[in-house]
Amino acid sequence: MLVALFVVAGIVSPIFYRPQNIFNVLQQASALGVVSVGQTLVILSGGIDLSIASIMATSCVFAAALMAGKNSMVIPITLFCLAIGALAGFLNGIITTRRNAPPFIVTLGTALIFQGIRFVYTKGAPFGSIPSWLRFLGRGGIGFVPASVIIFLFLALVMEAILQRSAYGRKIYAVGDNKVAALYSGINVPNIILSVYALSGIFAAFGGLVLAGYLGFGDNWAGKGYELDAIAAVVVGGTSLAGGEGGMGGTVVGVLLITILSNIVLLAGLPYQFQQIVKGLVVAAAVIFYSFVKVSGERR
C-alpha cells in the first residue's frame, strides 16, 4: 500500500518526488510518529488515549515559555515536560485501573484538564521562543535525513525490541489479548496498564517538543487532531483496536501513509477538509481489510 501510494503521489503531482518535499513529509511524520509509538502501546494493551494532543500542546507551550530561546534550558525543561507527560499518563492509568473507568472518557477528561492548564498559564496568548537546539530537533537534519526522523525510528525500534524480546512486552500483548487470562497467569494487569499510559504521556510530551522545534514557536493548539491521526496510523498499521495484536513496524508504515495522504491532498490543491475525508476512507478500508483477513484465517 505504501509503495502504491508513492506511485499515486507522483502521478497526482511530480512535485512530490522533489527532495525538499520528501524532507518536509518526513519531518511532518516525525512528531506524529513519536506520539503514535505511545498510542500503539496503549492500544496493544486494550486501551485508547485521547489526551496525547493536549499533552503535546502543553509541552510545546511550556518549552517556548520556559526555555525562552536559551539553549542552556533545553535539557532541564525537556525533563520537566517529560515529567508532565508522565504525570498525565499516570493519572490516566490510575483512574482507568483503580476505578475501572472507560479509558475513552478518562483520557478525554485529561485532555480537557491540560487544555485548561495551558490556557490559564498563557492567558490565551503563548509567549517565549524556541532555542536553536530544539529547532534543530524539529527542522534540522543529518545530510538528507531529518534529525526528527532518526529519533522517531530509533524510538520505534527500541519499543519494538522491547515488545518482541522482553517479558514486559509479552505481558502487554497478554493483557490486550485477554485481561482475565493474564490476571490468572500471574500478570499484574493494573501495573501493566498504568505503565503503558505513563509511557504514552511521555511520548506525547516528547512529540510536543519535536513539534515545537518544527513550528519554531509555542502554540496552544499545537498537535490539534493528532490524537485521531495517531489512532488512524496505528489501526492502518495493523494493530487491533481490541488489543493484543500488532506492533511498531506497522505503526511506522501507518504514520507514513497518513502523512503522505495529507501531502497528496495539499499538492493536489484540494481544501483541508478533503484530508479528513481521505483519512476516514483509508481507516475504514484498513479495518475492513484486516477484518476480512482475520475471518479468512479463522475459516482456514
Spatial CB neighbours of 231, under 8 Å, sequence gap ≥ 6? 39, 43, 48
Residue 33's domain comprises 21-224+239-244
> Burial level of 297, CB count in 10 A (0-12/13-18/19+)?
exposed
Cα-based distances in Å from 6 to 25, 29, 218? 12, 15, 33
Amino acid in the structure at residue 192: I
Per-residue pLDDT tens digits for 157-191: 999 999 999 999 999 999 999 999 999 999 999 99
Are 212 and 138 in contact by the 8 Å Cβ rule? The answer is: yes
Q: How many domains does the chain have?
A: 1
Cα-based distances in Å from 164 to 5, 157, 213? 29, 10, 32
With respect to residue 154, please indicate whether it lies within any of the assigned structural domains.
yes
With respect to residue 263, please indicate whether it lies within any of the assigned structural domains.
no
Whole-angstrom Cα distance, residue 10 to residue 49?
34
Per-residue pLDDT tens digits for 86-117: 999 999 999 999 888 999 999 999 999 999 99
Cell digits of residue 73: 534550558
Per-residue pLDDT tens digits for 208-243: 999 999 999 999 999 898 999 999 999 999 999 889
* Closest of 138, 111, 134 to residue 55, by C-alpha: 111
With respect to residue 14, please indicate whether it lies within any of the assigned structural domains.
no
With respect to residue 233, please indicate whether it lies within any of the assigned structural domains.
no
With respect to residue 110, please indicate whether it lies within any of the assigned structural domains.
yes
With respect to residue 41, please indicate whether it lies within any of the assigned structural domains.
yes
Give this prediction's pTM: 0.93
